[in-house]
Structure 1
Amino acid sequence: MKKVIVFMFVLLVGNCSFSQITPKNIPAKIDSLLQNWAGKHRPGMAIAVMRDQQVIYKKAVGMANLEYDLPISATTRFHVGSVSKQFTAFAILLLESQGKLSLQDEIQKHLPKFPAFAHKVTILHLLNHTSGLRDNGDLISLVGSKESDEVTFDEMVQLVSQQKHLNFVPGSTYEYCNTGYMLLAKIVENASGQSFLNFATQYIFKPLDMRHTTVFDAPHKIIKNLASSYQAIGEKKFRRNNLNYAIYGSTGLITTLDDLSKWAMNFAQPKVGFKALFQKMKTSGILNNGDTLRYALGQEVKNYKGLECIFHGGGIASYRAYVMRFPTKKFSIVVLSNARASGLHIIRYVKQIADWYLKLKTTAKVTSRKKVKPSKAFLKACVGSYQIQPGLIFSVSQTKAGLQLKITNQDDLIPLKAISANTFMLAGSEYKIIFPRPQAGKPVAQLHYWQGDFEYIAKRIPMVDFDEKSVDLKPLLGRYYSPELKTSYTLVLQKGKLTALHARNAPITFTPFQPDVLIGNSFFLQRLILVRNAQGKVVGGKISGARAKDIYFEKVRQ
C-alpha cells in the first residue's frame, strides 16, 4: 500500500536558530567555528570581518610553523592563490584608465613574442576566462614539474608560448584558466615598463598601507613571517607542502590578514581606484552566444539570499584564502589558512558569518513529496553521460529507486536524492546536480554540478556500446613525444593495464572508455585519443588534462 508522506525541509544554517543570534554573541559563535583549527599541534587560519570601514571581528588560531611552534597572528603572511587574480585585474584596469591599453586589444599587441592562433584572443578574454588557452597547471604537470620545484615566471611563460592550439574558440566557452592571468601580469609589465611587483607596490600596496604584502616572483625568495603550508597525513600528523613556483598574476600574492582587510574595505571607500573601475571589475563576462557568466574580472558575482555578493577563493600548495564582499552593506570577510583541508570549511564559515551579521535566512518551507518528486519522463530524460572534464565523465542511470551516478575511475554507484523537481544531492555529500529542463520529448542536454561555490557545466556526450576487454593494447605500446611540451611518455603493459611512464611523473594507468578513447587516472593526463593513419595504424595520440586539451604526441618508437 502506498503511503502519502509529507516532508518538511527546514533550511537553516548551522545548529543555532536566528532568534538566538545577537550582535554581542556573534564573536563567540565564530570562535566556536574556529575551535577545530586551534591548538599547537596543527596548522590553522585567520579570519577578519569588516563593516562600515571598521574591523568588527579578528581572530587567528593554529600554528604558522609546526617545527618552531610559531602561532598564526594577524600579521602572519600567507600565499593567497587565486585571490591574486583580483589584484591583477585591478592593475589592468588602472593601466586602461592611464590609456596604456584597451581590454579589446589583441594580446599579441602587448606580448609580441606570443604566437598567433587561428582566432583572436583579447585582454578581456583573459580576464573572463574565455580565452581558450591551455592551463599552465596542466602543462607544467605534464612535463613532470612539482610545486616544490624551482620554476620561474619566464619559464612558465615560455612553456605556454610553445602551444600551437587553443582548447576552444575564444569567447565561446567559460573555462577557468590560470594561463590567462599569468599573461595579464606580463602585459602589466610590458605596458607599464615596470615589474609586476613594482607596479602593484606603487599603485596598490603603498596607497593602501599594505606594508606586508608582496609578490613571490623568484624561487627560494625569503619571505619573513611566512606561514608554512601543511597537509594532514593522519590524526594530528602533518607534512610540509612546499611551494617554490615563482608564478604570479594568476597566483603569487603574499599578504596578511590585516593587509587583505584593507584591500577588501577599499571597495567601499576607495583610496585607490574609482567608481567606474569598480563597476567594470564586477561586470560579468558575456559569451559569443549572449550567455552571461557569473565570473567578472578577477572575481565572481552572485546573488546570495537577496544581496549582491562578490567573492573569490584561492588555493595553492596547502594555502587557502577567501574574500567575500557585500557592497550594499559595506560588509566583507577575509580568511587565510595554511591547512589544505580547510578549503570547503572556509566557504561554509564565511556564509555562516554573513548570515549571522547580516541577519540572512531562508524561510522554512513545507513541501509535499508529490511537488518535489521529479516526473518519470524527466528522470528518463536525465539518463546519459556528461563530460565534466575530458576524463571526468558523469554517467547517470535509472533504477526503481531513482537516479544514480557513476564517475569514471570510481567503482561506486552514487544515489542521487531529489530535493526539487530538477535538483539532486549526491548521497553522503554536500554536492548537488541540477538538470535544466529539456524541450519536450528530448533528453537533457547538460547538467550543472556544484561543489561549494564551484560550478561545472557538463554537456551530454554520445556513447556507443563498447566492450573494453575487446581492445588490443599491444599496438599502442611505444614512446610518444610532444614538440609543444618537449617531453615524452612511453606506453607499456603493467599487470595487464596500459601504463604511461615518464621520467619524472608517477606511472599513469589507462582504461579503454570508447573506441580509440582511453581514460587516465591523473588530473593532468585524463584522456588519450588515438590517432591512426589511413591504414589504421596508431601513429600518435591527443592527450588532455583537466584544462589543457588535445595536445598531440607523435609515436616515435614502437
Structure 2
Amino acid sequence: MNSKYLSLLLLMLSPSVWATKTQEKAVDEIFSEWDKANMPGASLGVFQNGKIIYARGYGMANLEYDIPNDANSVFRIGSTSKQFTAACIVLLAEQGKLKLTDSLHSFFPAFPDYAKEITVRHLLNHTSGVRDYLTLSFLKGLTDEDYYEDKDVMQWLTNQTALNFAPGEEYIYSNSGYWLLGQIVKQVTQMDMAEFAAKELFEPLGMYHTHFHNNHKAIVKNRASGYAPKEAGGYQISMTTLNMIGDGGIFTTISDIKKWDDAFYNSEVLSKKFWQAMITQGKLNNGKQIEYASGLIIEPYKGLNAISHGGAFVGFRAELLRFPDQKFTVAVFANRSDANPTSMAFKVAEVFLEEEFKTAAQVKDSSESNADIAGNDEAATQLAAVPLEQLTGEYQLNPGIQLTVSIQSGTLHGYQIWNQKEYDFEPIENAVNTFKIVGDDTFSFEFDDFENNQAQVINLSRNGSMSAWNRVDIVDTSGVELSGFVGDYYSKELDVVYQVTFKDDALFIQVDNNAPEALAVLAIDQLSYDGIVLDFVRQEGVITGFIMSAGRVKNLVFGKQ
C-alpha cells in the first residue's frame, strides 16, 4: 500500500497516538456538545514535537449525507488563510521580485495619491489605513447572499478618497490589505495567487489537500459544508459564492495543516530567514510594536510565547494556535457559525500544557514583590471588593461600542448598546471585582481604577487578550429634536443613499431595500446603530451631513441631499 495513504488511514482509524486517556477525555469534554450525529461540529488536531498526539472529528461534515468530520475533512478556514498570503509575499521578497518597502501605488496607480505612502509592509501589518472592503460592502447594503468580483472590490477601494488613518499611525485590522496582497502576487508573478501558492508552497510541502479556493463552482473532495443555526432550531447551509482570496480563501485539512506546522521548525522548502520575516511584528511610526506580524498574531498566553490566528467566514470558524517553545500546536476547524474555536483551542492547550502554564505563573509570581502592596493602605483598599453600586455606569471601547452596567434584582447586569444584547454577571472565584457572564467562561470583566468610589475602567479579557473599556459620562439628550435628522444622505465614496426617518418618536436609518435599523442617541449630534456611529455636521445650525465610522471603516462623508 502507498505509504501516504497508509499514514492517512492510520490517522483516521487511530485518533489518539500519544495523548493519555485522561487527556483524551478532557479534550473530548470540550467538544462534547458537538459530538453528535445530528449537528455540524469540528475537526481537531493536536501536534507536538512533530507528532500528531491527538486528532479526531466531532459532529458532521455534511448533514444531508450523514458524513462525519475527521482529520481529512476539508474546511474553509477564513482569515487563518492570511498567513499563506503573507507567505507568498515573503517568498517573492526572498526571490528578489518585490520589496516590502514597495508602495501600493507602484502596483496600482489608479489609487489616489495616498497610496504612494502605503508599503507592502503596511499591508502585511494592518497599518496601511486602507478601509476594509467587507465592511464597505456591508455599508453599501450588500449581504452574504450578494455576489461581487475582484474588479468590484478594486473599484470600491480606488473610489475611497481618504484612509482610516495615515499609513503607520495606527493598527486596524483590514481585509482589504490582504486582498490587495493577493492582487500584488498576481501582478508580480503574472499568475493567480492560487496557482503560485500551489507551486511554491503546497506542492513542495506535500499539502495536497490545501488550496486557495478562487472558484466557488470547483468540486472539492471531502469538503465539509458550512452551517448556521436557525432561530427555530436546526441548521441551514451557510456558504458563499464569492471567489476573493488573500484575506481568506484557504481550504485545508487537519492532516495538511500539520505539515505546515512541521515546516515552522524544520523545512527544506522554507528557510529560517523566511520564518523570521513571518513572525517579525509590525511597528507604528512612533516606534510602538504591535501584536500583528505577517498573517500571524504574536502574543504571550499565561507566560508562554504564542503564535496564532483565527478565522471566520459564513458557516466556518477556525483557529491555529502554536506555542513554539513547547513545539506544541492546536488546530480547530469548525463548520458551524456559532463556534468559538479560539476559546476551544486555548482550553485544549490547557489540558496538555497545564504544568508549563503553572511553571510560568510561578516564575512570574516569584519575580513580583508584594512589599509595595503590603504597606500601602491605598492599594489595599483598591484590591478590596466594593459594593456593586460602584461598578455601575456607561463604559466605552470606541464610540458606538458602549456597555451599560446596572443592577437588576440585586445582580450586576450588562446591556450592549450596539446590538441590544443583555446578560447578567456573576463573580469569578478568587478574583477581586472581576466577573463573567452567567454561563459563559469566555470573557472576564475586571472593574479597576477607582476614583470617587466609582470604577473608571473595565479590563475585558478574552483568552489572554485584553481591551480597556473606559467610563464615559452619561449625556442628557432629552432635549434633542429628533425630527431634525430626517432626510436623505449621499456618500460619493460608497455611491449609496441612506434614508433617516422618524416614526413613533424614534429615528430609523435604511440603505436600499434593507430593513430599517433603529438609531440610538449617544450625544447631541451623535447617533448610532449596530456599532456604527454617525457624527452629524451643521452649518449655521442646520444639518448638512454626517461622518460615518464603522469599526474597520472610519470617516466616511455623507452629504444631505
Q: TM-score, normalised by structure 1?
A: 0.84
1:259 equivalent in alignment to 2:268:
no
Q: Which residue of 2 aligns with 1:113?
A: 110
Distance 2:268 2:72 in 1: 21
Q: State the Cα distance separating 1:59 from its structure 2 match.
A: 0.4
Please state whether the residue corresponding to 1:149 is helix, strand or coil: coil
1:490 equivalent in alignment to 2:499:
yes
1:403–1:353 CA distance, 2 compared to 1 (3 A) = closer
Alignment-mate amino acid for residue 298 of structure 1: G
Equivalent of residue 360 in structure 1, options 335, 351, 356: 356
Distance 1:380 1:316 in 2: 40
Q: Deviations over 1:182-202 (max 9, x none)?
A: 111111111222211011111
Q: Which residue of 1 aligns with 2:483?
A: 474
1:167–1:416 CA distance, 2 compared to 1 (3 A) = farther
**1:321-336 correspondence runs (5 A):** 321-336=318-333
Q: State the Cα distance separating 1:253 from its structure 2 match.
A: 1.0
**Which has the larger displacement, 155-164 or 202-211?**
155-164
1:548 equivalent in alignment to 2:547:
no
Distance 1:37 1:481 in 2: 46
Distance 2:116 2:474 in 1: 33
Equivalent of residue 63 in structure 2, options 35, 43, 66: 66
Distance 2:344 2:195 in 1: 34
Q: Which residue of 2 aligns with 1:15?
A: none
Q: Say if 2:125 and 2:293, in contact at 8 Å, map to a contact too.
A: yes
Distance 2:449 2:398 in 1: 22
**Which has the larger displacement, 39-48 or 405-414?**
405-414
Q: Say if 1:372 and 1:418, in contact at 8 Å, map to a contact too.
A: no
Q: Say if 2:447 and 2:455, in contact at 8 Å, map to a contact too.
A: yes
5+ residue gaps, structure 2: 1-17
Q: State the Cα distance separating 1:414 from its structure 2 match.
A: 6.0
Q: Which residue of 1 aligns with 2:300?
A: 303
1:510 equivalent in alignment to 2:507:
no
Please state whether the residue corresponding to 1:538 is helix, strand or coil: strand
1:412–1:251 CA distance, 2 compared to 1 (3 A) = closer
Please state whether the residue corresponding to 1:296 is helix, strand or coil: coil
Alignment-mate amino acid for residue 212 of structure 1: H
1:172–1:372 CA distance, 2 compared to 1 (3 A) = farther
Q: Say if 1:482 and 1:554, in contact at 8 Å, map to a contact too.
A: yes
Alignment-mate amino acid for residue 192 of structure 1: T
Q: Say if 1:423 and 1:432, in contact at 8 Å, map to a contact too.
A: no
Please state whether the residue corresponding to 1:332 is helix, strand or coil: strand
**1:32-431 correspondence runs (5 A):** 32-117=29-114, 120-233=117-230, 237-343=234-340, 346-358=341-353, 359-362=355-358, 373-374=382-383, 386-394=395-403, 407-409=416-418, 410=420, 424-428=434-438, 429-430=440-441, 431=443
Q: Which residue of 1 aligns with 2:6?
A: none
Distance 1:95 1:411 in 2: 46
Q: Deviations over 1:35-69 (max 9, x none)?
A: 32122200011111122222222101211111222
Please state whether the residue corresponding to 1:552 is helix, strand or coil: strand
Q: State the Cα distance separating 1:108 from its structure 2 match.
A: 1.2
Q: Say if 2:104 and 2:116, in contact at 8 Å, map to a contact too.
A: no
Distance 1:228 1:194 in 2: 29
Q: State the Cα distance separating 1:109 from its structure 2 match.
A: 1.6
Q: TM-score, normalised by structure 2?
A: 0.83
Q: Which residue of 2 aligns with 1:530?
A: 536
Distance 2:19 2:262 in 1: 24
Q: Say if 1:404 and 1:416, in contact at 8 Å, map to a contact too.
A: no
5+ residue gaps, structure 1: 1-20
Q: Deviations over 1:77-111 (max 9, x none)?
A: 11100101111111111111111222222221222
Alignment-mate amino acid for residue 316 of structure 1: F
Please state whether the residue corresponding to 1:203 is helix, strand or coil: helix
Please state whether the residue corresponding to 1:200 is helix, strand or coil: helix
1:446–1:531 CA distance, 2 compared to 1 (3 A) = same
1:397–1:236 CA distance, 2 compared to 1 (3 A) = closer
Distance 2:233 2:405 in 1: 38
Q: Say if 2:104 and 2:115, in contact at 8 Å, map to a contact too.
A: no
1:432 equivalent in alignment to 2:441:
no
Q: State the Cα distance separating 1:139 from its structure 2 match.
A: 0.6
**Which has the larger displacement, 424-433 or 45-54?**
424-433
Q: State the Cα distance separating 1:314 from its structure 2 match.
A: 0.7
1:498–1:162 CA distance, 2 compared to 1 (3 A) = same
Please state whether the residue corresponding to 1:529 is helix, strand or coil: strand
Distance 2:31 2:115 in 1: 51
Q: Which residue of 1 aligns with 2:509?
A: 500
Distance 1:406 1:34 in 2: 29
Q: Percent identity?
A: 31
Q: Which residue of 1 aligns with 2:11?
A: none
Distance 2:43 2:402 in 1: 37
Please state whether the residue corresponding to 1:171 is helix, strand or coil: coil
Alignment-mate amino acid for residue 251 of structure 1: G
Alignment-mate amino acid for residue 501 of structure 2: V
Q: Say if 1:373 and 1:418, in contact at 8 Å, map to a contact too.
A: no
Distance 2:86 2:295 in 1: 6
Q: Say if 1:230 and 1:339, in contact at 8 Å, map to a contact too.
A: yes
Q: Say if 1:372 and 1:421, in contact at 8 Å, map to a contact too.
A: no
Distance 2:430 2:291 in 1: 23
Q: Deviations over 1:251-274 (max 9, x none)?
A: 111112211221122101124211
Q: Which residue of 2 aligns with 1:18?
A: none
1:49–1:549 CA distance, 2 compared to 1 (3 A) = same
Q: Say if 2:185 and 2:193, in contact at 8 Å, map to a contact too.
A: yes
Please state whether the residue corresponding to 2:165 is helix, strand or coil: coil
Distance 1:117 1:262 in 2: 40
Q: State the Cα distance separating 1:330 from its structure 2 match.
A: 2.1
Please state whether the residue corresponding to 1:93 is helix, strand or coil: helix
Q: Which residue of 1 aligns with 2:10?
A: none
Q: State the Cα distance separating 1:406 from its structure 2 match.
A: 5.3
Q: State the Cα distance separating 1:373 from its structure 2 match.
A: 4.9
Alignment-mate amino acid for residue 126 of structure 2: H
1:183–1:389 CA distance, 2 compared to 1 (3 A) = farther
